[in-house]
């Protein structure tokens, strides 16, 4: 599997894109930067889009990928998310006020986007991929809304947790896998903002050190979602942990092959 980090940050500014991970050019995890970070030819190659949760840094570019690609693809983008996420995106983004409802455009019969409900630990097969959504702990106001994803192809599995505070279930499920090759997780705020991290259900370097003890062993852990305004401090604090498993996604537009 090739994982392209279109955007791996927890914010948006020049040269820093919000979360969008693209697998083998066709399976997208989160839509934070898929339109701003990919050319339209590459956007058209995407078939399936998984949404981890509603937050804007994971959903906003749905608006623009639809605007870029409507009528050009011949079939809709198939979006997979929890029912609460579908309702929120339809009611608050594609509501014909903030943005047109591309689930009925350019026509009802041939729309640009099609939503599919998923729920935790119900596997789905998307082409060559087996996808297992697993509950993660983010955000507390909407319990059980946020999902991480375990994606398997050619007998290799990768865990993508996206936004989460300390969590349990995805690690329990991950430990049962005998073909796990990588974990993508998050660190958002530096240690001195632990209070903010706790209130918003995110990790700091000191909490990821504890989280690491619960994760499946002996696979590399890639840390994304660094807030751009604290990137330098985060890199320093993560480096100071001296954990050889940890890799920091400080640059966007990079690829990993597993």
Q: CB of residue 6 vs Zn ion: minimum separation in angstroms?
A: 14
Q: Rule CB under 5 A: which residues touch Zn ion? A: 10, 55, 57, 163
Q: Which C-beta is closer to Zn ion: that of 53 or that of 153?
A: 53
Q: Which C-beta is closer to Zn ion: that of 12 or that of 181?
A: 12
Q: Which C-beta is closer to Zn ion: that of 147 or that of 158?
A: 147
Q: CB of residue 53 vs Zn ion: minimum separation in angstroms?
A: 6
Structure tokens at 253: 């537009």
CA–CA distance, 109 with 258 (Å, rounded to integer):
38
**Cα-to-chain-centroid distance, residue 160:** 7
Q: Which C-beta is closer to Zn ion: that of 96 or that of 141?
A: 141
**3-state SS assignment for residue 145:** coil
Q: Which residue in 210, 111, 196, 110 sits closest to 167, CA to CA?
A: 210
Q: Which residue in 34, 27, 32 sits closest to 50, CA to CA?
A: 27
Q: CB of residue 209 vs Zn ion: minimum separation in angstroms?
A: 21
Q: CB of residue 29 vs Zn ion: minimum separation in angstroms?
A: 12
Q: Which C-beta is closer to Zn ion: that of 152 or that of 201?
A: 201
Question: For residue 151, what are the CA distances in angstroms to 1, 44, 45, 128, 183?
Answer: 10, 22, 19, 10, 11
**3-state SS assignment for residue 21:** strand
The burial of 203, by beta-carbon neighbours within 10 Å (0-12 exposed, 13-18 middle, 19 or more buried), is given as buried
CA–CA distance, 23 with 103 (Å, rounded to integer):
24
Q: Which C-beta is closer to Zn ion: that of 54 or that of 103?
A: 54
Q: CB of residue 202 vs Zn ion: minimum separation in angstroms?
A: 8
Q: Which C-beta is closer to Zn ion: that of 98 or that of 140?
A: 140
CA–CA distance, 21 with 118 (Å, rounded to integer):
19
Q: CB of residue 108 vs Zn ion: minimum separation in angstroms?
A: 32
Q: CB of residue 136 vs Zn ion: minimum separation in angstroms?
A: 10
Structure tokens at 257: 């092959």
13 DSSP 8-state letter:
B
CA–CA distance, 252 with 242 (Å, rounded to integer):
23
Q: Which residue in 170, 182, 153 sits closest to 249, CA to CA?
A: 182
């Amino acid at each position: 599997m090739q994982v392209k980090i279109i955007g791996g940050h927890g914010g948006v500014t020049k040269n820093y894109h919000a979360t969008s991970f693209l697998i083998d050019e066709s399976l997208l995890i989160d839509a934070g930067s898929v339109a701003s970070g990919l050319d339209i030819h590459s956007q058209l190659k995407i078939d399936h889009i998984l949404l981890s949760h509603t937050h804007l840094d994971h959903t906003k570019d749905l608006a623009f990928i639809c605007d870029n690609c409507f009528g050009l693809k011949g079939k809709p983008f198939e979006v997979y998310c929890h029912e609460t996420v579908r309702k929120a995106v339809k009611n608050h983004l594609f509501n014909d006020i903030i943005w047109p409802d591309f689930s009925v455009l350019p026509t009802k019969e041939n729309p640009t986007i099609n939503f599919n409900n998923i729920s935790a630990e119900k596997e789905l097969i998307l082409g060559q991929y087996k996808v297992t959504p697993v509950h993660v702990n983010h955000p507390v106001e909407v319990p059980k809304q946020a999902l991480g994803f375990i994606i398997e192809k050619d007998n290799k599995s990768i865990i993508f947790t996206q936004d989460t505070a300390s969590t349990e279930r995805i690690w329990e499920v991950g430990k049962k896998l005998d073909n796990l090759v990588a974990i993508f997780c998050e660190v958002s705020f530096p240690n001195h903002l632990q209070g903010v991290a706790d209130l918003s259900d995110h990790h700091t370097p000191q909490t990821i050190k504890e989280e690491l003890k619960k994760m499946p062993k002996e696979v590399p852990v890639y840390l994304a979602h660094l807030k751009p305004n604290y990137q330098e401090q985060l890199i320093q604090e993560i480096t100071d942990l001296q954990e050889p498993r940890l890799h920091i996604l400080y640059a966007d537009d990079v690829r990993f092959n597993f």
